[in-house]
Amino acid sequence: MEKVMLHCPSRPPEKVSALPASVSPRTVSGVVVLDKPEGPTSFSVVSEIKKLSNFWKIGHCGTLDPFATGVFLLCLNRATRIADQLLEQDKVYRCGIRFGFESDTLDRTGEIVRVYDGPAVSEGELQQSLDRFHGTYEQQVPRYAAVKVQGRRLYAWSRRGIEIELPRRNVSIYSIGLLSFNWPDAIIEVHCSKGTYIRQLAADIGRNLQCGAHVTELRRLASGPFSIDQAISLEEFRKALLTNRWQENLMGMNDALAHLPSVSIACRETMKRLQDGNLDPALEINLRERIPKQTTPVRLLAASNNELIALCWPHENGRKQRRLRVLGADITDNSLPL
């Protein structure tokens, strides 16, 4: 996005000095792209990183089931405040499906509850079924999901054997391709909207073919612009933490939100107001005029160093929450223009 440089008669901010090669994990914020291994839960991965490090806050964007692997975004320190913007992005998955067998969890970790004894499905029939799911459709949330219903996680209700009405929501399948097929196993690749349950998609395809299906493997290849090619393994990140080289794998918040429009601010008074939690009226008018009406926020950057200072929603768009989210500055950065 083209940046809008706002100027005022004030003296421009002084140049920011570079951070030292090694700093405390409590002083720097950003995003790490992990390649989650098979086995641990998303919560346990975050818990382990907390124990190994001195980060004062850690969050993640997009839960992966224990048997699933792939792109797993960690938000460190102040970057937890931008997690909602990263969660909004599309996902790409590679998924192994076994047809003819249905499990209670819709994946290979559950118990088989139904076995198909009819003729094998042909590749042509499978391709036709996949094509039917291209676009937007109403998807049922799986029984074993982390979504809260009536104050509890769905999987908690299911594990207690309590039947509860499962929510439904619209999801979008932007592309769905068949990579290989040898009955009863297939591998597909799916580009989908946030909130899409691949386990449920596989089960829906199986039901459409009247043979049932469950997921045998699941790997997240991308989350928004973050791809598996740039991910670091959990083992590698453990070593980086122990040798204090973790910063080599850290992406700054501004870079992590590069998909959002940005405005660079070179005015000291405007910067001071922003960091006090106030939006300069002249800046707000400027943003409304220059930024088209949209629901996504605008990055407000310090012109001196491209430091992400705040997110701003120039247009109300029915938002009930504050339209300015001040992100502050890292503890070690004492050179921001205040």
Q: What are phi and psi of 280, to 5 degrees?
A: -60, 130
Q: Which residues of 259-272 are buried (b: 16+ CB within 10 A; e: fewer)?
A: ebbbbbbbbbebbe
Instruction: Please report where in the chains the tokens 């449920």 appear, as a residue.
Output: 200
Burial class (CB in 10 A: 0-12, 13-18, 19+), 334: exposed
Residue 317, Cβ neighbours under 10 Å: how many? 11
> In this structure, are strands 101-103 and 91-99 parallel, antiparallel, or unpaired?
unpaired
Q: Which of 4, 24, 16, 30 is nearest to 255 (CA)?
A: 30
d(CA 273, CA 290): 20
d(CA 272, CA 143): 49
Residue 299, Cβ neighbours under 10 Å: how many? 25
Which secondary-structure segment (H or E) carries 271? Answer: helix 268-275
Q: How far is CA 333 from the centre of its chain?
A: 27
Give strand ranges (E) for 38-81.
58-61, 69-76
Does the annotation count 204 as an active-site position? no
Catalytic hit among 35, 65, 107, 280: 65
d(CA 286, CA 309): 17
Residue 52 contacts residue 80 (beta carbons within 8 Å)? no
d(CA 331, CA 326): 15
R_g of the chain computed on alpha carbons: 23
User: CB neighbours of 152 closer than 8 A, spacing ≥ 6?
Assistant: none
Q: Which residues are catalytic, by number?
A: 65
